[in-house]
A and B are shown apart, each in its own frame.
Chain A
Amino acid sequence: MTTTDQIRLAWQALTGHRLRTGLMLLAMAIGVAAVVFLTALGEGARRFVVGEFTALGTHLVIVLPGRNETTGGHPPLLGETPRDLTLEDALVLERHPAIRRVAPLNVGSAPASHGRREREVTVIGTTAEFLAIRRLGLTQGRNLPAAAREAHPVALIGEGIRQELFAAGERALGGWLRLGDRRFRVIGVLRSEGYSIGLDIEELVLIPVASAQMLFDTSSLLRILVEARSREDVEGASRAVRRIIRERHEGEDDITVITQDAVVSTFDGILTVLTYMVGGVAAISLVVAGILVMNVMLVAVSQRTAEIGLLKALGASPTQIQRLFLTEAVLLSVMGAAIGLVVGYGAVVVLRTLYPVLAASPPPWALAAATIVALATGIGFGVLPARKAARLDPVQALARH
């Protein structure tokens, strides 16, 4: 018996029992589609979260004042520290070769007004580098002045602030904005980038860091954002930051350095495990589908007892009969897996259309795993019925008809 004949005979047997074949294909397809879809969902979630962090800059090193002495717990975001981070600390860091950009950061809240309109806003005191580090852009105007030490009375505002404080049609650029008891000239409007982790760009006001220190009457910084030259430089940059600040703080190790990379890879790790997990759950449904295939094949063997007896009478060897039934199981698995891949991909495309932000896409390993598991269960669970068929006693098989 040639392979072509074997496949054709198995195919004819499958198409001869459409309902049975259809149901088994459905089971297989649902299993495979579930694996594809769920892992795509997990992968999409992972990419979304990692993407959000990456938008902050993967080469980012965040410097906080205060030493995180104990393991665990939050870094002291607003903690009392023996020595503050200063603007000079930040500007010194900029000279290190592993460091591309530095943005000192002061954050506070102040009443903002323009004409008779007034509201409370979050004010960030920083330098021109901030926009580059946070990958922010401007829709109008220009960036903050490069000179970090000078307290220019200028401000960049978010789109939301512009709409609320400036009348429709009124030109914000060049207009005056009062923050607390000081006046700032609006020199730029920030491009809205939706919601970036931690900060709503639309609701921000950016002013030079020196102005913010005056406004909030402080000489310290909340934190320093440091961007390393490359991903490989992140480690060197954070070591350099520690060393330089320690030297400047008379040997006191009184800062906390967080690398963005560490945060991202933590989330990455968690979400990858989550994807494996949902993939595993879906794979169980595949195994269930495999058991169903076995079940139905066993029924098929007893339904086709006479046929098997006949094949034996016509001179089919036990091996040939076993191969015929196994081929049926393989065909079912292959077709079921193929249909499942198509359906799963279809569902992923629909999901991507509905939620483009998720960028759901099944990871390649999931496709391979789903296909392999489908084939393995189909074939594995096909062996038992096939052997049962091969061992049938032809005399009884023929007599039962």
Chain B
Amino acid sequence: MIRLEDIDRRFVIGDNTVHALDQVSLHITAGEYVAIMGPSGSGKSTLLNVIGLLDRPDGGRYLLDGEDTTTMDEVRLAGFRRGNIGFVFQSFHLIPRLSAAANVALPMVLAGIPVEQRRRRTAAALAAVGLTDRADHRPEQLSGGQRQRVAVARATIMGPAVLLADEPTGNLDTASGMEVMALLETLNDGGLTLILVTHDASLGRRARRLVKLLDGRVASDNRLAAGA
């Protein structure tokens, strides 16, 4: 489903060219639960951005659902991103002036889905993350764990195939972090491909596949026993 072939991504910083991704090849099939780990600067965020179509590789090919994304223009990429990929960020990235429900509905607004359908799906998504009674609250009125659950509801509202989570528990205390992880894993159990970027080795071990990056290269790629 996700097929990266010899992906290169270079940044020029001053006189130096940094190889954020260096000939990365990776194949992720539908329904997988992959953790990407590595020290700072190893390229894991860049890899996530490339997979999420936010960043374009300088070389190599990226096939998503069999389609070559490296030749798509901005508009098609936006559409592809909207329909196929959900993002969960460390800092939630909720829009502060919008209610939880409006934040969840935002991707549907961008997609031009009719209001009635939007309302129904938003209510269902909020119910799924256990926040029905917080629908009208604004982000500042929610706890960190609740905010991240709103973000998860938003990330999954378009029914994406892949969920990309970048340090989803990084700004949360342990308890709410575990809640969010449990939520993500439940979604993965339902067939959603989950790709998790983290520093935290204990989180990494929860995944069924662990990819370790070092200096922009895949250092190891191991299948783990489920629930280890």
Contact = CB atoms under 8 A, between A and B. Distances in A.
A169 interface: no
B55 A314 contact: no
A315 B110 contact: yes
Contact of B78 (A2, A309, A312): A312
Nearest to B107: A314
Interface string B68-90: 00000011001111110001010
Interface in B104-145: 106-107, 109-112
Contacts of A316: 78, 82, 110
Nearest to B74: A318
A13 interface: yes
A319 B112 CA distance: 14
Contacts of B49: 395
Interface in A349-401: 394-395, 398-399, 401
A309 B110 CA distance: 14
Interface string A303-326: 000110111111111111000000
B158 interface: yes
Contacts of B81: 312-315
B52 A311 contact: no
Interface in A4-18: 5, 9, 12-13, 15-16
B78 A16 contact: no
A61 to B, nearest CB: 71
B52 A317 contact: no
B109 A5 contact: yes
A310 B95 contact: yes
- Size band of the B side of the interface? 20 to 34
Nearest to B89: A398
- Size band of the A side of the interface? 20 to 34
Interface in A318-341: 318-320
B27 interface: no
B96 A315 contact: no
B-side interface mostly: helix
A315 B83 contact: yes
B178 interface: no
Contact of A314 (B97, B98, B102, B110): B110
B83 A398 contact: no
Contact of A317 (B78, B83, B91, B106): B78
Contact of A315 (B45, B97, B158): B158
Given A306-B93, A313-B52, A395-B54, A9 B79 contact: no
B111 A315 contact: yes
B212 interface: no
A73 B111 CA distance: 76
A1 interface: yes
Contacts of A399: 45
Nearest to A313: B87
A187 B112 CA distance: 86
A235 to B, nearest CB: 66
Interface in B154-194: 154, 158
A71 B167 CA distance: 90
A306 to B, nearest CB: 6
Contacts of B75: 317-319
Nearest to A14: B97
Interface in A77-112: none
Contacts of B83: 315
A1 B158 contact: no
Contacts of B45: 399
Given A315-B82, A315-B83, A394-B54, A310 B110 contact: no
Given A2-B112, A314-B106, A395-B55, A16 B96 contact: yes
Given A2-B112, A395-B54, A315 B79 contact: yes
28 contacts: A1-B109, A9-B109, A12-B98, A12-B102, A306-B93, A307-B93, A313-B54, A313-B93, A314-B87, A314-B106, A315-B78, A315-B79, A315-B80, A315-B82, A315-B110, A316-B78, A317-B75, A317-B79, A318-B75, A394-B54, A395-B49, A395-B54, A395-B55, A398-B54, A398-B89, A398-B93, A399-B45, A401-B93
Q: Lowest 7 A-B CB distances belong to which pairs?
A: A315-B82, A16-B97, A317-B78, A310-B93, A315-B81, A314-B107, A394-B54
